[in-house]
Structure 1
Amino acid sequence: MKIKTFAVEHWMNLYEMEAVNNIAETCVESLTVNELIEIDGTNPEEFLRNLGKQKLTYGHIEGSPEFRGLVSNLYDSVSPENVLMMNGAIGANFLVLYSLIEPGDHVVAVHPTYQQLYDVPASFGASVDLLPLRPENQFLPDLNELKSLVNDKTKLIIINNPNNPSGSIIEKQMLEEIVEIARSCDAYILCDEVYRNLMQEDGLVVPSIVDLYEKGISTSSMSKVLSLAGLRLGWIAGPDQVIAECIKHRDYTTISCGMLDDLLAVHALKNYDNILKRNRKIIKDNLAILDAWIQQEPSFSYVKPRAGTTALLKYDLPISSEDFCIGLFKANGAFLTPGSCFDMEGHVRIGYACDTEVLKKGLEKVSEYVRTLQQEGNKKGHSYSKN
């Protein structure tokens, strides 16, 4: 099959490991193994001693009963049997698309979002229409536009909630309206929910699509909300027929995920509330820093994110987003993601949930680089200054 280069992943692969101040990372500041184990007072030496006694078998093929049970508790109407472990949300998304999409199907996907969600179904022979998320609409979908895109061949509507890269959040009422549009053409809804519950607003609760719609499918992972990307574990939560189809297709791609990862994930899920409390503090504190920087940096503006770990920053400089990010990286090692990775030229994506000092230093380096561009541009007679 033919498929485009995965722009954002290719970008991260090229530069991420050499970054001095990585403000492109999308996970909340990662936990160490000891931090994870100790989060509820567990003794790390005892935990690791017991871990060392485990035989390194394939483990539970579809995820341990404890893992599936704990994940099901994150939803209102999902049983453990309706949870299937995969290798990260990227594996979960791929398996859903591999299991459901056939040549000739029609898919509607929001855009911008994670490129996998629209290019993989296209590679399987589906006709894909993109539903634009516009800054003037707070990066929320226009439901009249969605209605105009669906038809009797629409197999799947794909959303990402909270949204990467914008940090927008579709609340319950709009989700219910999207469900009614899906019902009108008997389509599934796949919702990538890897940032679910990372809210900026206290008390804001947004339901999962799987709890709102009988043909809703939720994918998520241990990576973003739980700060454990190194475990490489995710899951699918969905209706019986979807899970059955995914298990059938999964046998051709995945035997099982790592049993040690499963054991550590179970410990994390038992402490979900503790980790979420830690991580919500990080995203709130860091967004306040980013927001203050935006207010004083005249070349940048943004739609303030309401959830997740990322934001799209619009800049007012006569330079492509890729050239800006490469120039920044070469100048001082600060690392951002170009908006071109999301077809959003004139923007960069920032991941603001990193270590707070890294964020502060990274933003300082961005400002320094902008001033350098402005000085060089003014010498050449170009207008690099907004004011």
Structure 2
Amino acid sequence: MKIKDFGVEQWMNEYETKAKYNLGETCVSSLSIRELCELVGVDVNDFAKQLVDRRLTYGAIEGAFELGAFELKKAITRLYQNLTPDEIVTEHGAIGANNLVLNALVEPGDEVIAVTPTYQQLQSIPEAIGATVKLLPLKRENGYLPDAEQLRGLVSDKTKLIVLNNPDNPTGALMSQAGLQTIVDIAKSVDAYVLCDEVYRHLTQEDGYSPSIIDLYDKGISTSSFSKVFSLAGIRLGWLATHDQAVMKACLSYRDYETISCGQLDEMVGTLALKNQAVLLERNRGIVRENLKVLEEWVHQQPHITWLKPKAGTTALLYYDFDLPSTIFCDRLMKEYETLLVPGSFFDIENSLRIGYAFETAHLRDGMNQLGKFLAKLEQEAR
């Protein structure tokens, strides 16, 4: 199967270990196991003993019938409304969950509608399978939210799947419940599934419950993980959730070929985190809310930068007014100032940059200081 190069991931692979100031990071300030235990009030020595005494066999294939995994899936259900453990499949991160759903459901000749900009995986996998992929542009003037009338014009009786990303990566746009319901109504009109990558869900700038697609639609599919919201990217654990048993059956069948099971140690750490999800959410919402204020203050001081302030998530899209392709901009920034950003061209939006703002505040300030120096240098060069 031929597939497009994954622009964002290849860029991060090339530069993130070399950067002194990594403004491309999208996870909320990552936790060690010790820090996690201290945060949730668990004795680190007791938990470490559980880890080292664990026999490293395969876990339960469906992640359901062994105590730790069952407890994990039970904890995941509390992130949704009216979800049961047997409506969840664990995977190797949200990237594994998205891959599983797309490969299990999409066939050559199917029609898939995907928002853009978004995480490239959500567009490139169905295209590589042989589906016709129609793109639904998220426009700045519309708050980077899907245009319902445009979507109505794209769907047809051949549409099998509508793919969303909420909150959106890279823009940080957040669809309301009413907006999601509109998408659901359009999907129902053609009996299409809706896959929603919700890996940034819960990281909102305002308090309140963020609805999931599966709260609203029986043919909705939610994917998520521990990486962004729960600061545990290193355990490489995620999941998909759906009420649709046909989807569940297809995903479990395909999963036998590509996953077998998730790691038992990963599931133990994930279970500990989700049993204490309220504590982690309070910590991480505090970080993204404070850091967005810091980023907003910096943006307002920059004459060459504009943006639409994100509503949720950990990323924002910055626009600059220099006549310079974003890959060259970011390459020079890295080489001259050891500072990493992601070119907007990887999201098909030129003269823009994706910035993450969810890591340590001091690191964010230092990185933005370097970016400011580079912008001043470009201004001098333009004179």
- Aligned residue among 203, 210, 226 for 1:206: 210
Which residue of 1 is the match for residue 50 of structure 2? 50
How far residue 27 of structure 1 moved from its aligned partner, in angstroms, is 0.5
Q: Aligned equivalents of 1:34 and 1:62: distance in 2?
A: 29
Q: Are residues 1:318 and 2:309 paired? A: no
Q: Are residues 1:192 and 2:197 paired? A: yes
Question: Superposition pairs for residues 8-157 of structure 1, below 5 Å?
Answer: 8-63=8-63, 64-157=69-162
The secondary structure found in structure 2 opposite 1:167 is coil
Which residue of 2 is the match for residue 373 of structure 1? 378
How far residue 271 of structure 1 moved from its aligned partner, in angstroms, is 1.0
Alignment TM-score, normalising by the size of structure 2: 0.97
Q: Are residues 1:233 and 2:204 paired? A: no
Q: Aligned equivalents of 1:376 and 1:150: distance in 2?
A: 47
How far residue 243 of structure 1 moved from its aligned partner, in angstroms, is 1.1
The secondary structure found in structure 2 opposite 1:39 is helix
The code of the aligned residue for 1:330 comes to K
The secondary structure found in structure 1 opposite 2:134 is strand
The code of the aligned residue for 1:145 comes to Q
Q: Aligned equivalents of 2:169 and 2:57: distance in 1?
A: 36
The code of the aligned residue for 1:59 comes to G
Which residue of 2 is the match for residue 328 of structure 1? 333
The code of the aligned residue for 1:211 comes to D
Q: Aligned equivalents of 2:70 and 2:32: distance in 1?
A: 25
The secondary structure found in structure 2 opposite 1:252 is helix
- Aligned residue among 211, 214, 222 for 2:226: 222
Q: Are residues 1:161 and 2:197 paired? A: no
How far residue 211 of structure 1 moved from its aligned partner, in angstroms, is 1.0
How far residue 38 of structure 1 moved from its aligned partner, in angstroms, is 1.7
Question: Superposition pairs for residues 208-287 of structure 1, below 5 Å?
Answer: 208-238=212-242, 239-287=244-292
How far residue 45 of structure 1 moved from its aligned partner, in angstroms, is 1.1
Structure 2 unmatched runs, 5+: 64-68
How far residue 376 of structure 1 moved from its aligned partner, in angstroms, is 2.4
Cα distance per residue 1:316-346 (max 9 Å; x no partner): 1111111111111111111100001111101
Q: Are residues 1:295 and 2:300 paired? A: yes
Q: Aligned equivalents of 2:40 and 2:335: distance in 1?
A: 42
The code of the aligned residue for 2:359 comes to C
Query: Which aligned runs of 4 or more in structure 1 are off by greater than 6 angstroms?
Result: none
How far residue 62 of structure 1 moved from its aligned partner, in angstroms, is 1.7
How far residue 50 of structure 1 moved from its aligned partner, in angstroms, is 2.0
How far residue 206 of structure 1 moved from its aligned partner, in angstroms, is 2.4
How far residue 368 of structure 1 moved from its aligned partner, in angstroms, is 0.3
Q: Aligned equivalents of 2:33 and 2:85: distance in 1?
A: 26
Which residue of 2 is the match for residue 383 of structure 1? none
How far residue 282 of structure 1 moved from its aligned partner, in angstroms, is 0.5
Structure 1 unmatched runs, 5+: 379-387
The code of the aligned residue for 2:231 comes to S
How far residue 197 of structure 1 moved from its aligned partner, in angstroms, is 0.7
Does the 8 Å contact 1:39/1:271 carry over to 2? Answer: no
Q: Aligned equivalents of 1:206 and 1:27: distance in 2?
A: 19
Structure 1 stretch displaced more, 12-21 or 38-47: 38-47
Which residue of 2 is the match for residue 305 of structure 1? 310
Does the 8 Å contact 1:89/1:234 carry over to 2? Answer: yes
How far residue 374 of structure 1 moved from its aligned partner, in angstroms, is 1.6
The code of the aligned residue for 2:374 comes to Y
Which residue of 1 is the match for residue 66 of structure 2? none
The code of the aligned residue for 2:28 comes to V
How far residue 69 of structure 1 moved from its aligned partner, in angstroms, is 1.0
Q: Aligned equivalents of 1:62 and 1:268: distance in 2?
A: 20
Cα distance per residue 1:100-157 (max 9 Å; x no partner): 0001100000000000001100111100000000001110011000000000010000
Q: Aligned equivalents of 1:39 and 1:296: distance in 2?
A: 36
Q: Aligned equivalents of 1:252 and 1:59: distance in 2?
A: 16
Q: Are residues 1:353 and 2:358 paired? A: yes
Q: Aligned equivalents of 2:212 and 2:123: distance in 1?
A: 20
Cα distance per residue 1:73-101 (max 9 Å; x no partner): 21112110000000000000000000000
How far residue 28 of structure 1 moved from its aligned partner, in angstroms, is 0.5
How far residue 362 of structure 1 moved from its aligned partner, in angstroms, is 0.6
Alignment TM-score, normalising by the size of structure 1: 0.96
Q: Aligned equivalents of 2:180 and 2:210: distance in 1?
A: 9
The code of the aligned residue for 1:6 comes to F
The code of the aligned residue for 2:20 comes to V
Q: Aligned equivalents of 1:191 and 1:77: distance in 2?
A: 17
Which residue of 2 is the match for residue 385 of structure 1? none
